Each structure stands twice: as structure tokens, then as C-alpha cells.
Structure 1
Amino acid sequence: MSTTTPAAGGPAGSEEARREAAAWATWQESPWGRLRYRVLAVLLRERCAQLGPAPLRVLDAGGGDGRDALQLALAGHEVTVLDASPDVLGAARAAATAAGVADRVRTVAADLEDLTALAALTRHRAGGSGSFDVVLCHDVLQHRGGAQQVADDVATLASSLRPGGLLSLMAPNPAADVLAAALRDGPAQAWVVLDAERGEDPATGRSVLRLDPAVVEAAVGAAGCEVVGRAGVLTVTTLLEDAHRADERVVADLEELEVELSRREEFRRTARFWHLLARRR
């Protein structure tokens, strides 16, 4: 998940941290959790293929147990997973070993605040630019302290990219909060959520920023990157009351539908997650 994951979000070994980590793991294994990773994997593989042949150098900042990174390692890319939690990094290494790609997955115990130093260590001598072809930061920014910190984070992430490199950002979509509240709790709750600055993480219930993708796009532009792709991830799945009972065949059908919907502009604004792709100038 992130350098501010539930597992890393509280005091080491605290009961609250363990509860949040367990809730996140349960969400990951749910049909909608699995679909989030599957749909995004399709989008990322397509975009990475446009950058050039494998291996590309990929940084997954706040990559948690490496579920996004692993898909790119399986496609032949060299991936560095950065997270502050040793436990989830251990899970990332175990998953890479089980998938036969341990030689392509490196883990680094660090926080987003450490990225500036890491970027300095990985710069090309010519041009002073970061060395990664692709930088991922998924399900992280909503856990940060506020809009200015998010802008600073985006600038730091962009500095880790080579010119022409690809930045992939994803977070829960505020518009989806309103739809979910109206369907599950009624119109009154939807009004409460509509303009709130903070909301609940859909996986853990933890308080998070409600990040308008337009605000993040502005930060992306200020960081010297140009948005080259916008998508919505999980348009219908998380609104289905019985999705938790879906068998694998239904999940496969939903995956095909969700991938197609993620490519269509009219569904992007109400999907559970917004996804931005930007290229460093």
C-alpha cells in the first residue's frame, strides 16, 4: 500500500496498526481488491510497452507487499519496492520468490521523505535527472498530511524519473465516495460526504484526504510532467452489494468489463479510484 500504510501508520506493533494491516490484507483478497490490481496491471503493462522493451527500471514508492510491482517484474522489468514497513517488504520478497522473479525485485526500507536522498544517489551524471523509467505511487497520497505535502511528494517522485519517464499515481476518487454513501447510507450521508476534506479509507476505515484528481494534476504540471493518461479504476464492482460473494468466474467477467470501462471517458469521473499517468518533460 504505502509508506504510510496501516502496517506502518502507528506505533510499531500497536494493536491499531495490526488491525489496520489485517483490514487492508482482507480488502486485498476481496473480489474488488483483486480486481483493482488486475485492472491496473493491464493499464500499466500497456503503457510500459510504449516506453520500450523490457527491462525498464521501475520504482514503486510506497509499494507495500509489491502487488503492483510484481506484475511488472513478471513482464520482465527491474523493480525497486520502497516502503517503511519491514513486514510488508518481507511479503514482497516472498511473493517475488514464489513467482520466480526474485532477481528482478529489490526492496528498500524507506519513507517518501527519503526519496530526495535516494533520487540524488540514482541520478545520471549527465543532465542531473533521476534514473527510473517508471515511478509508481498508488494508494499513498491520500494518507499524506495535506495538499502542500502531496504537491511536495509529487515533485519528489518526478525527480526520480529520467526525462520521458512515466509517473503513475492513483488514489480513491472523491466522487465515488458520494455515490457509495447515497447507495448504502442514504441521501443525508451523501450530503455530508459531498464537500468534506477528509473521508474514510474504503479498505480500513482510516481517515484519509479526499484528493480531487484536478489538484494532483496541477501538482504534476508544477513538477515538470505532462499528463498523458487518465483512467477510472473499478467503476461498478465496489457498488455491488453482493460482490463479496462473487465466484472466480464472475470476477473474471467483472475484470473484462472494468478494463473496458477504465478506457472510457464517461465512466472515469465516478470510478472508485482515479488513475493519472504523466510523462516527465
Structure 2
Amino acid sequence: MSAEPLGAQAGRERGESAAWATWQASPWGRLRYRVVGRVLRRWCTVLGPGPLRVLDAGGGDGRDALQLALAGHAVTVLDRSPEQLALARAAAAAAGVGERLHTVAADLEDLTALAALTRHREGGSGSFDVVLCHDVLQHRTSHEQVRADVATLTSSVRPGGLLSLLAPNPAADVVAAALREGPAAAWVALEAERALDPATGRSTLRLEAAFAEEALAAAGCEVAERAGVLAVTTLLEDAERVDERLAADLEELEVELSGRPEFRPTARFWHLAGRRR
């Protein structure tokens, strides 16, 4: 099979970027960042008052990282897109925390080089207190690559620090398909070998939380925290018309449900924190 032409690849990536931006601006997109931000801040309290050193690997426009910068932590956003990193810096500057958010144009494959850099500057690889990798691993080419990624990410976390992983939950595809399109669509989602990214519609790995937990354990982490993000919001038929008052009410509900184990299995995203041994 011939390789995808560069022009076609660039066009596809621009289309996915536009779809992602639209999703981020939607009620459920905005809530996803608010809920995850609150969950992360709670999880980070076990590491002390800070400021913590945070790496957001594949952090894009920095929306997750910004939540921690606003909490007083020093954040480095790593992403391969200069355009996305420029958005991250602009958002941090607009929020008054530009000095706390720094960017590095690199990909996950460059984490080894980044570890060498931090060894020179900050006293050793594994110098970050917290490493985030959100909405990234499902886009990797294989489960074997995800295992390797988790091991590399873990090497950037100091002993006792946290590695936060988040990805779409394949079980949520089945529930959403049943509610929106009927049982036939749910069967298709149930039997599919791959999942769909909820933001772009792009085919992705079916990445179960249980697999991520196994990868964390193999990399030398114990699973310290578990959450399910957006248990109800993405199932609302009229979510497009959610106003700010209802969004605030939904946020409180989603934060509460995120910590309840009975709601994790079908939440839109699974969210894990591994503590490096």
C-alpha cells in the first residue's frame, strides 16, 4: 500500500484539528477540562503544597496544563505542533500565568532526550513531580507502543510522583450508540475492533482502563487513583443547548460522579494516576 500523500495527510490533520477545537468549545468539551482540572488538583495535594514540576506530554493547546498553572505549579507542555503550543502560551498569558507555563516542540519519542535535559538541569531523569498524558495514547499505532510509552513517561516521573493517564472509554461508545442511534448501532460499536475518538471521529485504539493499569504496573507504578470523567453529560440529547447555569450544576454532578466507582465503567473517559515506586 502506498503512503498517504503529504498534502492529504496535512489536510486530514487540519480537519481533525478543527473538529477537536469544535469539541473543546462544546459544553461537554468545556466540562471535561473543568472536571479533570478539579480531579487533578485534588490528586496533586498528596504531593505537598508545591509548586510542583509538571510535564504535559502531548499537551496540545495546554488546557489541562493551564489548570495546574493556575493552581501555582510550574508546567512544561510538550507537543509536536508549534501552532498548538502558541495557543497554550497565549492562554497562559491571558490568564496571568505566562511565567509558569513553558513549551517544548517535541513528540513522545523525544521524552528520552527530555529526560537527559532534566538530568543536566534539575538533578536527574525522573525530575517531574507530575506527568500528564491525556487524549494521546489512543492515537498510538499499537498496544505494544502504548506499553513502551507508559514506561518512557514513567521514567520522567520522580519516585513517589504521579503519572496521569486519560483516554476515551470504549464502553461509552456502546452506550452512546444505543441511546442516539439504537440497538443495531450499539452492536456495531460493541463488536468493533477499534474505537472512535469522541472529538474527531477518528478511528483509534480500543484502549481499556484495565490495559492501562497493567501497563502502569509493568512500568513500575502502583495505581493510586481512578476516575470516570463525564458520566452523564455526553449522553444528554440537548447538551448543545446547555446554558452556563446548567453547566455549573453539571460540573458539580460530574465531579461527584467521577469519584464513584459504580459510574466509572461507562463514563466517556477513564482517568488513572499511577504513583512511581
TM-score by length of 1: 0.93
1:39 aligned partner, one-letter code? V
Q: In the alignment, does 2:156 pair up with 1:160?
A: yes
Structure 1 residue 173 corresponds to structure 2 residue 169: yes
2:104 corresponds, among 86, 103, 108, to: 108
Give the counterpart of 1:50 among 20, 27, 46: 46
Residue of structure 2 in register with 1:222 after alignment: 218
Q: Following superposition of structure 1 onto structure 2, how do residues 1-281 of structure 1 map, counting pairs within 5 Å?
A: 14-123=10-119, 129-281=125-277
Query: What's the % identity of the aligned pairs?
Result: 75
Give the conservation status (yes or no) of the 8 Å contact 2:115–2:124. no
CA displacement, residues 188-218 of structure 1 (integer Å, 9 cap, x when unaligned): 1211211323122111111111101111111
Whether the 8 Å contact between 1:154 and 1:220 is mirrored in structure 2 is yes
Residue 119 of structure 2: SS of its match in structure 1? Answer: coil
Deviations 1:70-105 (A, max 9, x none): 010011100000000000000000001101111110
C-alpha distance in 2, partners of 1:171/1:208? Answer: 10
CA contact (8 A) 1:173 1:271 kept: yes
Q: Once the 2 structures are TM-superposed, how far is the Cα of residue 159 of structure 1 from its aligned partner? A: 0.2
Q: Give the whole-Å Cα distance in 2 for the aligned partners of 1:30 and 1:225.
A: 34
| Amino acid in structure 1 at the alignment position of 2:160 | G
CA deviations on 1:130-177 (whole Å, 9 max, x unpaired) are 100000000000000010000000000000000001010000001101
Judge conservation of contact 1:11–1:17 (CA < 8 Å) in 2: no
Measured at CA, do residues 112 and 248 of structure 1 come closer, stay the same or move farther in structure 2, by a change above 3 Å?
same
The alpha carbon displacement at 1:111 in A equals: 0.3
Give the CA deviation at 1:29.
Answer: 0.6
The amino acid of 1:189's aligned partner reads: A
Does the 8 Å contact 1:124/1:131 carry over to 2?
no
Q: CA deviation at 1:69?
A: 0.4
Mapped to 2, the partners of 1:218 and 1:12 lie a distance apart of: 36
**Aligned CA-pair RMSD:** 1.7
Q: Which residue of 1 aligns with 2:3?
A: none
Q: In the TM superposition, what is the alpha-carbon distance from 1:120 to its structure 2 partner? A: 2.3
- Indicate conservation of the 8 Å contact 2:58/2:77, yes or no: yes
CA contact (8 A) 1:131 1:160 kept: yes
Shift of 1:39: 0.4
Contact 2:54 2:75 in 1 (8 A): yes
CA–CA distance in structure 2, aligned partners of residues 45 and 132 of structure 1: 16
Q: Which amino acid aligns with 1:165?
A: G
- Check 1:171–1:57 CA distance in 2 against 1; reply closer, same or farther (3 A cut): same
Q: 1:113 to 1:208 in 2, by over 3 A?
A: same
* Matched letter for residue 57 of structure 2: A
Is 1:129–1:163's contact at 8 Å kept on the other side of the alignment? no
CA contact (8 A) 1:54 1:75 kept: no
Give the whole-Å Cα distance in 2 for the aligned partners of 1:253 and 1:236.
12
Do 2:130 and 2:161's aligned partners in 1 also have CA atoms closer than 8 Å?
Answer: yes
Please give the alpha-carbon distance, in whole angstroms, between the structure 2 residues aligned to 1:53 and 1:14: 43
Unaligned runs of 5+ in 1: 1-9
1:127 is displaced (CA, Å) by 9.3
* Conserved 8 A contact 2:62-2:85: yes
